Amino acid sequence: MNILLKSAKIVDPTNKDLHLKKRDIFIKNGVIENIAANLDVQGRTKVISFENLHISLGWFDSSVSFGEPGYEERETIQNGLYTAAKSGFTDIVLNPNTNPLPDSSSDIVFLKNASKQSATTLHALGTLTIRSEGESLAELYDMKSAGAVGYYDYKLPLKNSNLLKVALQYAHNFDGLVHSFPMDMQIAGKGIVNEGEVSTRLGLKGIPHLAEELSIVRDLFILEYTGGKMHIPTISTANSVKLIAEAKKKGLDVTCSVAVHNLCFTDETLVEFDSHFKLMPPLRTKSDAKALIKGLKDGTIDFVTTDHRPMDIEHKRVEFDNASDGTIGLESAFGMLNQIFDLETTISLLTKGRERYKVKTPYFKVGENANLTLFDPNPEYIFEEKDILSTSKNSCFLGSKLKGKVYGIVSNNQIIN
């Protein structure tokens, strides 16, 4: 397939020669063939000329959930990857929270085979323990050999400290990345929202900051003892940022992420008891959100994620206490981040994270495979259900004002627009 992108403004802060320049880009059989101020290409070529077309390197998301296998009513792999592509993401890391759970090499092979024809590339995580039960390690080495990019018992903290120690020591032998969800469940108890003034006023059981921070302290002490690589997904408190900053100063090989919704919403949004805002970790305070934004800007927090988690209506349209956690976020990620940060910062955040998962980093130059996101950063609009491409519609961003529209992607010798 031949593609010509006309008058595209390139947003690539790492490329001084092309950053913020308008160029035509000719892509032949998935490879960038030419970049120039004006190109006139002969032969069968698909010409793309959108209003105020901007392009960047393809976006990456480190925490995405679908439903297949087992929960196809929530989301299939095919539609999930199409949604990711239309939302600007050329690479996503898939969480291991299906049925059956991917805790063996054959499960990883299934996920990769089911996604290999898609424009957006799926990178699979395997579970850290068998069936995510926290009792025995899963087939870590075999899953890595099959293509797993890391290990994670999704949203389930590992209670057994010694098992985490053993996992880090074992995975260290083959450069495996261990995820540890930061939540001490004995401290959290039956809490469902942030513990504080709002939870007291609403009569909802709270999860104190301590539950997250105590878990992070434990994990970092174990990492310091064992060595190896750890990723702490979706932190939510100001003190968590400080703890990770101190660990990095010590030289520990630790990264962390934050979900978009924890940057832009606080526990004050819970006053309507809208189950779309029932999330894990919970929405925290304004001071926490400010600290998380600052942590992203100074690099303490390594990357931002949508933490996209489709959930069918039967699990969301119930009493707040009984509703399932989670929100979809792929479709709204760019528009919301572009409201919080300037465009260059937004693009930088959306393109970070690949190196941690050993995913090939794309480059914007002739001879490289085209891995590009197409967008217009200017339109402002209210996010509505018609903007949702996911099968499930459980978005906490419904009714929010967003800035910027995604046109699609060019990746894997395909264009989705």
276-316 pLDDT, tens digit each = 999 999 999 999 999 999 999 999 999 999 999 999 999 99
For the stretch 212-237, pLDDT in tens is: 999 999 999 999 999 999 999 999 99
* Domain co-membership, 47 together with 196: no
Q: What pLDDT does 42 receive?
A: 81
Cβ atoms of 126 and 108 within 8 Å: the answer is yes
Q: What pLDDT does 38 receive?
A: 93
Token pair listed for 352: 């970070």
For the stretch 262-281, pLDDT in tens is: 999 999 999 999 999 999 99
322, 338, 357: which is the final residue of a domain?
357
* Domain co-membership, 35 together with 111: no
Task: Give the start-end residues of each E strand in 31-149.
Answer: 31-36, 46-48, 54-57, 59-64, 89-94, 121-124
Which position has the token pair 């880090």?
168
Confidence of residue 43 (pLDDT cuts 50, 70, 90): confident
Closest CA to 147 of 179, 115, 109, 90: 109
From the list 307, 321, 325, 387, the catalytic residue is: 307
Q: Which amino acid is it at 219?
A: D
Residue 1 has pLDDT above 90, yes or no: no
Residue 41 has pLDDT above 90, yes or no: no
* Domain co-membership, 248 together with 353: yes
Total count of domains within the chain: 2
Cα 372 to chain centroid distance, Å, stands at 17
- Calculate the alpha carbon distances from 240 to 26, 246, 349 in Å: 45, 10, 19
Q: Which amino acid is it at 147?
A: G
Closest CA to 45 of 63, 24, 60: 24
Cβ atoms of 243 and 273 within 8 Å: the answer is no
Q: Give CA torsion, residues 280, 282, 287, 293, to 10 deg.
A: 30
Backbone angle region of 210, left / alpha / beta, with phi > 0 → left and psi within -120 to 50 → alpha: alpha
Long-range CB contact pairs, 158-164, < 8 A, 24+: 158/128, 158/129, 158/134, 159/134, 159/185, 160/134, 160/135, 161/218, 161/222, 163/129, 163/134, 163/135, 163/137, 164/219, 164/222
* Domain co-membership, 213 together with 171: yes
Q: What pLDDT does 409 receive?
A: 98
Mean of the per-residue pLDDT values of the chain: 97
24 is an active site residue: no
* Domain co-membership, 130 together with 150: yes
Task: Give the start-end residues of each E strand in 153-274.
Answer: 177-179, 193-194, 206-207, 229-232, 254-259
Cβ atoms of 298 and 374 within 8 Å: the answer is no
* Domain co-membership, 109 together with 156: yes
Residue 22 has pLDDT above 90, yes or no: yes
* Domain co-membership, 43 together with 67: no
326, 357, 388: which is the final residue of a domain?
357
State which residues form the domain around 84. 59-357
Average pLDDT over residues 124-134: 98
CATH of the domain at 155: 3.20.20.140
For the stretch 189-204, pLDDT in tens is: 999 999 999 999 999 9
Phi–psi pair at 95, nearest 5 degrees: -70, 150
Percentage above 70 pLDDT, the chain: 100
* Domain co-membership, 353 together with 375: no
* Domain co-membership, 250 together with 324: yes
Q: What pLDDT does 327 receive?
A: 98
Confidence of residue 318 (pLDDT cuts 50, 70, 90): very high
* Domain co-membership, 266 together with 404: no
* Domain co-membership, 343 together with 411: no
* Domain co-membership, 288 together with 402: no
Give the DSSP letter string of 111-127: HHHHHTTSSSEEEEPBP
pTM for the whole thing? Answer: 0.96
Residue 40 has pLDDT above 90, yes or no: no
CA 356/CA 344 separation, integer angstroms:
21
357, 378, 395: which is the final residue of a domain?
357
Average pLDDT over residues 175-183: 98
Average pLDDT over residues 408-414: 97
Q: What pLDDT does 179 receive?
A: 98
CATH of the domain at 31: 2.30.40.10
Pairing verdict, β 193-194 and 177-179:
unpaired
